[in-house]
Structures are given as C-alpha cells and as structure tokens.
Amino acid sequence: MYAIGVDVGGTTVKLGCVKDGLHIVYREKRQSPRDPQMMAQTIFSMVSIAQQRYPGVKVGISCAGSMDSNGQVTANHLGWVSVPLGAMIYELFNRPIPMENDAMCALAAEHIYGTLNGCTTGILITLGTGIGGGIIVGGVPARGNMGLHGEVGHMITHADGRRCNCGQQGCWEMYAAASKLREAAGGMSVREVMSNVRAGKLLDIWGNYIHEVVIGLSSLMMIFIPEIIAIGGGLSNAGDIVINAIRSELEETSAFRIFNPTCRIVSAHFQNDAGILGAAALASMME
C-alpha cells in the first residue's frame, strides 16, 4: 500500500511516497515559495511527478502554522495570514486533498506507528524553531472548537514575559524552543551547544534551558496526567543527553512525584520525516 505525504514547512516543501505507512521509497524536496499561489503550484507539480511513478496513489498534506477545517492557513514562518491554501489546492487537483497542521501530522505518525502507539493519554512536544506538538486524550488526538488544534507552544509560562508573535506575552516557546537555547549560547548551532554541554561547558545556559522546558511540561502533566510524554524536534536529534536532562528534572516535580509517578518520558520515534509520514497516514485514512 502506497500513500504520498507532502510536508510544507517554512523553508522547504518535502514529498515522500510511503510504502506500508513507514517506508519512504521516493523523495523530492524544493524551496518553499512564500507566495501562496506558487506554493499550491509547487505542491501540485511535485505530486504530479510522484504520481507518474506511483499512479493513483492517495495524497495528504502537512502544513506549518495553524489551520482551520477549511484549509485556511496562518503561518508566521511563511508570512501567511488566513491564506486559503485548501481552496487553492482543491482548484488545482479538482478534488479535496486532506490537509493538517504539521504538529497534528507528527502526532498522528507517533500515535499510529511510533512511541505513542496504543496510549490512551499521551503528549508529543517538538523542540525546534518553536514548540509544536499535540495531545492524545481518550485514545484520539485532542481537538477544539471548529476542529482546531491547540498550540502547546503558546501556553504562557511567564506572566507578562517576552512578547511573542502570537500577540501574547510569556509564551513557553519564547523560552524553551530550541532556537532560544541557540540564542542564549550567542547564536551557536544546537550541535555546537550540545558538544559544549557534553564537554562540561555552558552548563548554566543548559540548566536554565532545561528548567524552562520542564516548567511547561509539568503544567501539561498536571492537566492531562499522561501515560507517556514523547520529546521530538531538532533538539532531540542530540540524543539521550536531552531526554535524560528533561527526565531527571521533571521527575523531581510534584506533577511527577505526587500525581503521576508512572509517566514515561521518552524520545519521539520520528524526527525529520514525521510530517511526511503523518500526512501519508492522513491520506490513507481520509481521502
């Protein structure tokens, strides 16, 4: 069984043709056009080329930013406000294509094939440019009014804190996104920061950063009492050092010790391909 997943990000559009839900057998990547019409055409062109090799294969799209059930997208990284991408895609393909926010696609991939498989209550957070993720409640991805997904990264962790481009002040991702770790380390890459940390340097910066991550996670733990928390995104590529640091501080919180001591804190299974795999899963389920 094949399905095509398209992952529309702030810098690149990635397409994968996925076999049996997990194996990417064909890939293409292009730069993300910022013009919405050009973006729709890029997606259409990439899918058309893939479908020449895999005719009749279903398609799903993962897109950065927030999205309503009509496919209207607001994405800071693309400079989009209420862009009707769903309608543009519909016009080009002449049929509706299932489309979902990238965090929800990553959540679907983890829930169907990854570390959140089989859980009743679980949390995925991704530490990258921002903080993404989603929550499984009652065995299904939690959704809000009008099918909208929540934004864990914009949970406020600092009253009247740093101004966020969502319009609030003190959002979690203004302190605990991987990009904030880089900023605190004077613009070093995450890889450089982590090699310093492994060498016993930058430990203050690292400790403060982990503390910010844990403040948000302990609130989510208190609200949802999850069986499992999966940590993904660019930072988790650094491996066990990240998970171990988060776990050891989180396990000292009341949220863990008193309320939920059997909660497991693990690495997410999928990294860069979560969007493609989630979008392909969406195609198999919905189209």
Supply the minimum distance, in Å, between the C-beta of residue 216 and Zn ion: 12
- Binding of residue 180 to Zn ion (CB under 5 A): no
Stretch that binds Zn ion, among 22-30, 61-69, 156-164, 195-203 (CB under 5 A): 156-164
Supply the minimum distance, in Å, between the C-beta of residue 164 and Zn ion: 3
Taking the least distance from each CB to Zn ion, the nearer of 129 and 260 is 129
Can you tell me which of 45, 74, 76, 168 binds Zn ion, judged by CB under 5 A? 168
Residue type, 143: R
Distance CA 113, CA 232 (A): 14
Supply the minimum distance, in Å, between the C-beta of residue 130 and Zn ion: 8
The three-state secondary structure class of 238 is helix
- Binding of residue 188 to Zn ion (CB under 5 A): no
Supply the minimum distance, in Å, between the C-beta of residue 150 and Zn ion: 12
Query: For residues 229-242, b (16+ Cβ closer than 10 Å) or e, as one string?
Result: bbbbbbbbebeeeb
Stretch that binds Zn ion, among 110-118, 139-147, 151-159, 213-221 (CB under 5 A): 151-159
Token pair for residue 138? 């009652």
Distance CA 168, CA 155 (A): 9
Distance CA 137, CA 73 (A): 25
Taking the least distance from each CB to Zn ion, the nearer of 110 and 173 is 173
Supply the minimum distance, in Å, between the C-beta of residue 176 and Zn ion: 12
Taking the least distance from each CB to Zn ion, the nearer of 112 and 166 is 166
Of 275, 249, 280, the C-alpha closest to 126 is: 275
Stretch that binds Zn ion, among 111-119, 129-137, 141-149, 158-166 (CB under 5 A): 158-166
Of 78, 54, 73, the C-alpha closest to 4 is: 54
Distance CA 188, CA 194 (A): 10
Can you tell me which of 171, 190, 214, 274 binds Zn ion, judged by CB under 5 A? 171
CB 199 within 8 A of CB 207: no
